[in-house]
């Protein structure tokens, strides 16, 4: 199995999904900084950008959690 195939397989595995969710958590830090900066500067465009980024982050995390649940449903040991 090539290293590229292994990497693609890891992305769809439970540890890979948990890693993706963890890295998404770091995005929250950046978005919260952007929101604080936008509010302090009264910059509506920057605030809108941060809110759209937050919505994308929430949606992406929800998709990852759904995929994680699907993997759990396929697990015979989990019932």
Q: Within a domain: residue 65?
A: yes
User: Domain span at residue 67?
Assistant: 24-71
pLDDT for 13-65, tens place per residue?
A: 888 888 888 888 889 999 999 999 999 999 999 999 999 999 999 999 999 99
d(CA 70, CA 31): 29
d(CA 60, CA 58): 5
Domain count of the chain?
1
Q: Within a domain: residue 29?
A: yes
**Is pLDDT of 79 > 50?**
no
Query: Alpha helices of the chain — where are they, by DSSP H?
Result: 3-11, 14-41, 44-74
Q: Within a domain: residue 46?
A: yes
Q: pTM for the whole thing?
A: 0.70
Work out the pLDDT band at 5, boundaries 50, 70, 90: low
Q: Within a domain: residue 48?
A: yes
**Is pLDDT of 8 > 80?**
no
Q: Within a domain: residue 50?
A: yes
Residues sharing a CB contact under 8 Å with residue 60, sequence separation 6 or more, in sequence order: 24
Q: Within a domain: residue 60?
A: yes
- pLDDT of res. 45: 97
Q: Within a domain: residue 31?
A: yes
């Amino acid at each position: 199995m090539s290293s590229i195939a292994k990497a693609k397989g890891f992305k769809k595995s439970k540890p890979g999904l948990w890693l993706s969710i963890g890295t998404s958590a770091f995005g929250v830090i950046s978005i919260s900084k952007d929101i604080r900066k936008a509010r302090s500067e009264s910059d509506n465009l920057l605030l809108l950008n941060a809110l759209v980024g937050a919505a994308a982050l929430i949606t992406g995390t929800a998709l990852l959690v759904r995929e994680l649940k699907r993997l759990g449903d396929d697990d015979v040991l989990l019932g």
